[in-house]
Structure 1
Amino acid sequence: MIMVKIGNFFFRTRNYLFPVFYVFLFLPFTRISENYTTVFFIGLAIVILGQLVRMLTIGLVYIVRGGRNRRIYAEGLVTDGLFSHCRNPMYVGNILLIIGMSVLSNSLFAVVVMIPLFMFIYQTIVQAEEAYLRNSYGGGFDNYCASTNRWIPRLKGIGDTFRKNDFDLKKVVFKEYNTTYLWMLGATLLLAYNTHWLSSKLTLKNKGLYFLIAIAVLTSLYFTIRFIKKRQKRERKKMAHEQTL
């Protein structure tokens, strides 16, 4: 199937797609609106919604599924947590992030071209993943598909899902710090690139200083979390090595 082949290609090259997406956010295309304050807050709300979906997906029942040798791979068929309401909640979160960042860019090109392009890319990746899961889990996966939407989350029973599953904040922090840093950094840079709403109150020098401070704080938090995560990983390896002696 051609869509599966395309999906496998995009899955292998997915790590190169977001840098290209980020570049297009800053290119001088036609603006969505001259009132960037409104555009910014609409885009930010969509981004935060996407981030929330990702955090809930990871914090409730994280799916161990990803690339092995740049190929689609899954350790098991996960149908709990948000996966009991939608087959691809992480990708739903990703699409919301892309929509939100496109709006934040205030670029008509990003909204009209980049959003449909990435929705197509994710559709092909999902079809490739589903082909793998169907081959691996057969009837079990077909039954799951019959009761759970591919994209549109089913909200019925969401309260029971939250009650039955403990939310793992530590896992969310260590799994999501990179994504969170990238979109927050991008939002800060887009705000600096697009806005003039501070110009009447602050000099350009002071305005730039505030943005630099914000970027420095975000970057410091990023590397702090990264350092703690790597230190804990080294400690686990050390303990595992000592137990084998």
Structure 2
Amino acid sequence: MVKIGNFFFRTRNYLFPVFYVFLFLPFTRISENYATVFFIGLAVAIVGQLVRMLTIGLVYIVRGGRNRRIYADGLVTDGLFSHCRNPMYVGNILLIIGISILSNSLFAVLVMIPLFIFIYQAIVRAEEAYLGNSYGGGFDVYCAKVNRWIPELKGIGTTFKENDFNLKKVAFKEYNTSYLWMLGAVLLLAYNTNWLKTKLTLENEGIYFIAAIALLTLLYFSIRFFKKRERRLKRQKLAAEQIA
């Protein structure tokens, strides 16, 4: 399982484009009542997004990998990590479940969701093997106190009080994921209401889809611009300090 997890960790960036393609393939529908399906899926996806935002905004763990290998610069047990060992992956799974439901694709629900749950389970096993080897007894004590997947909500109010929520950090770290799934939701709504299956015009509901896509894209590039500007200013400040 650890070897499988390491493989998926290295290739995880290629999985989501494949996932997106399958969402638009003409498989059997979940229901003909698409409005209900869409809002259920949207609600689940929003919960997943909120979990990711709270994880990043309170106490974020740097576990993004190094040279396509699992890496962590410390054992973080505060924030949402004091209630669940993998809150980011919980958020990811909820996003995938939500998007799969609102796609109205029975294949996505019956195949893609179980597949991604397996993938994340394997990645978590690989990460835990790394953390166990790196932090030994400390990680074992943490595992004994905190669930791998099911969040323990006891004390969540205290967690929010003891940790300041950093909205800017959330925006800078989460804008890409947020843009992709929200754009996907808009496109799936257009696809399932037959707008993408016919001609692309500005008539009727078409203007609303185009406006939503334009707004999301504007927000995406705005946040991207400010993030890059902040990085550039930090580099300039550091260079000035080194010269001084």
Range class of TM-score, shorter chain = over 0.9
Change (3 A) 1:221 1:204: closer
**Could you tell me the percent identity over the aligned residues?**
81
Name stretches of at least 5 consecutive residues in structure 1 with no aligned partner: 198-202
The amino acid of 1:16's aligned partner reads: Y
Once residues 29 and 23 of structure 2 are traced to their aligned partners in structure 1, the CA distance between those partners, rounded to angstroms, is 11
1:194 counterpart = 2:195:
no
**Could you list the runs of 4 or more consecutive aligned residues of structure 1 that deviate by over 4 angstroms after TM superposition?**
none
Q: Which amino acid aligns with 1:160?
A: T
Q: What CA deviation, in whole Å up to 9, does each residue of 1:22-41 have, x standing for no partner?
A: 00000000000000000000
User: What are the ranges of 5 or more consecutive residues in structure 2 without an aligned counterpart?
Assistant: 196-200
| Match in the other structure for 2:34 | 36
Partner-residue secondary structure (3-state), 2:70: strand
* Residue pair 1:177, 1:225 contacting (<8 A) in 2 also: yes
**Structure 2: distance between partners of 1:204 and 1:237:** 44
Instruction: Kindly provide the CA deviation profile for residues 140-173 of structure 1, in whole angstroms up to 9, marking residues without a partner as x.
Output: 0000000000000000000100000000011001
Rounded to whole Å, the distance in 2 between the matches of 1:212 and 1:177 is 20
Counterparts of 1:153-164 in structure 2 under 5 Å? 153-164=151-162
The 2-side partners of 1:214 and 1:64 are apart by: 32
| Deviation, structure 1 residue 11 | 0.1
Any idea what SS the aligned residue of 1:79 has?
A: coil
Match of 2:22 in 1: 24
Within-5 A mapping of 1:55-94: 55-94=53-92
Quote the residue 1:211 is aligned against.
209
CA distance in 2, matches of 1:72, 1:13: 12
CA RMSD of aligned residues (A): 1.2
Q: How does 1:121-136 map to 2 (within 5 A)?
A: 121-136=119-134
| Residues 1:238 and 2:231 aligned together | no
Task: Say if 1:37 and 1:195, in contact at 8 Å, map to a contact too.
Answer: no
1:42 deviates by 0.1
1:182 and 1:25 map into 2 onto residues whose CA distance is 13
Number of residue-to-residue matches in the alignment: 238
Q: Deviations over 1:185-232 (max 9, x none)?
A: 0000000000269xxxxx982221221111011101100110110011
